[in-house]
Amino acid sequence: MYRAYKFRLYPTPEQQVALAKSFGCCRWFWNHSLNLCQETYKSTGKGLSRGAIQGLLPALKKEYPWLTDAYSQCLQYVALNLSTAYKNFFEKRAGFPKFKSKHGRQSISYPANVKLDGDYLKLPGKVGSIYCRQDREVAGKFVTTTISQNTDGKYYVAIIVDDGKAIPEASTDGKAVGIDLGLTHFCITSNGSKFDNPRHTKRHAKNLKKKQQSLARKQKGSLARAKAKRLVAKVHSRVSRVREDFLHKLSRKIVNENQVIAVENLCVKGMVRSHNFALAISDCGWGQFCTMLKYKAEWEGKTYTEIDRFFPSSKLCSVCLNKVDSLPLDIRAWTCDKCQTHHDRDINAAINIRNEALRILDLGTRSTANGGNVSQPGKTSVLLDAVPIEVGNPIRLAVG
């Protein structure tokens, strides 16, 4: 089973220069390869395989000797990332690959030859050993190590390891909970618990406004503008980190207390198109929260399931299953016409989500997996559209 660890790095000034050179080399090779893929497709109608892109490196290193500043396997990993980016685009999991800029987040990946030596992360090549602040022990075999620099100037390492353990078989024996996500309250559970929305962006809005106004007054291209830009990036980084901390703690609490976790499959991308709620919805991080619930439940052998977004969880009475015709957003409580039960809108929705998930699990309903044609690594054309083939994905569910 794969696990990821993320730590803060503190490189010396010399190591920062070496990392900047590596970032630049990998960024240039990505942009060069992406442009070559596009030009090749326009002229021949065919793409370049991962192996063909990696085969460009020997000639490019002779033409551009500064490419040797980056570790060779980091450059080879760029071809794998580009191939994966095209696959994700053709399978409609992501947008079309974009060219990278030196003004945004920078990163390089090491597929091998990386290890932790005490408080230091030992990297191959010219970078050497970097001081790494570790808050927990890394257990497992290193798979991929990614070094990144955020726009606020901080360095991080993300280590993916294989701990050698099998993924536990999902079980449904135990307590079940339904979760309704909202704006006034971030999370409402079927047992009546309500967790307030921290509104992280609003808390830092005054400080962010001050920093952005200062940035707007600086002359473009000046050192003062670069410094002001970094101060703005630090505020955004602060907001992102406190949001992530809140989501981690809440998702861990829910997973620890329940065996079956049911949420509504929301179309966040479509919801943020509303100009009235776009900022508030984006600030919540619903998608990130559901992702955390999913992989943490998988680690613990628990069941995570999503209910269809068109299921009328708010309009349906959880007692007699009577459905009301209309229920505007400003109505937060209502009484059922049939059984005269008074409902809190959000708690009633969470109960309906939980009941619908249990019904689906009892019926043994399962989704199907769409898999594409499998090819050998390195031989897949990065511009060849994958043809999905619908296959069954048998999942054994132990329903209690």
Closest listed residue to residue 169, CA positions, set 297, 329, 355: 297
Q: Which of 180, 283, 306, 356 is catalytic?
A: 180
Q: Which two tokens stand for residue 5?
A: 């660890």
Q: Which of 69, 91, 244, 346 is catalytic?
A: 346
Under 8 Å between Cβ of 54 and 76: yes
- 141-149, strands of its sheet edge to edge: 106-110, 141-149, 155-162, 2-10, 128-133, 120-123, 115-117
Main-chain dihedrals φ then ψ at residue 293, nearest 5 degrees: -60, -40
CA atoms within a 13 Å half-sphere pointing along the CA-CB vector of 15: 18
Q: In whole angstroms, what is the distance from residue 190 CA to residue 353 CA?
A: 8
Tell me if residue 119 is catalytic.
no
Packed helices 286-299 and 223-257: angle between N→C axes, nearest 10 degrees: 50
Tell me if residue 346 is catalytic.
yes
Distance of CA 131 to the CA centre of its chain: 26
Tell me if residue 180 is catalytic.
yes
DSSP three-state, residue 178: strand
Task: Please give the full DSSP string across 264-324, using - where no structure is assigned.
Answer: E---HHHHTTSTTTHHHHHHHTHHHHHHHHHHHHHHTTBEEEEE-TTS-TTTB-TTT--B-
Under 8 Å between Cβ of 159 and 124: no
Q: Which of 264, 283, 306, 356 is catalytic?
A: 264
Q: For residue 66, what are the CA distances in angstroms to 51, 220, 285?
A: 22, 29, 41
Closest listed residue to residue 170, CA positions, set 391, 366, 349, 3: 366
What secondary structure letter does DSSP report for 333?
E
Q: In whole angstroms, what is the distance from residue 327 CA to residue 40 CA?
A: 55
Under 8 Å between Cβ of 219 and 225: yes
Place of tokens 């003062």: 224
Q: For residue 187, what are the CA distances in angstroms to 182, 216, 334, 358, 395?
A: 6, 37, 20, 20, 29
Among all residues, which ones are annotated catalytic?
180, 264, 346
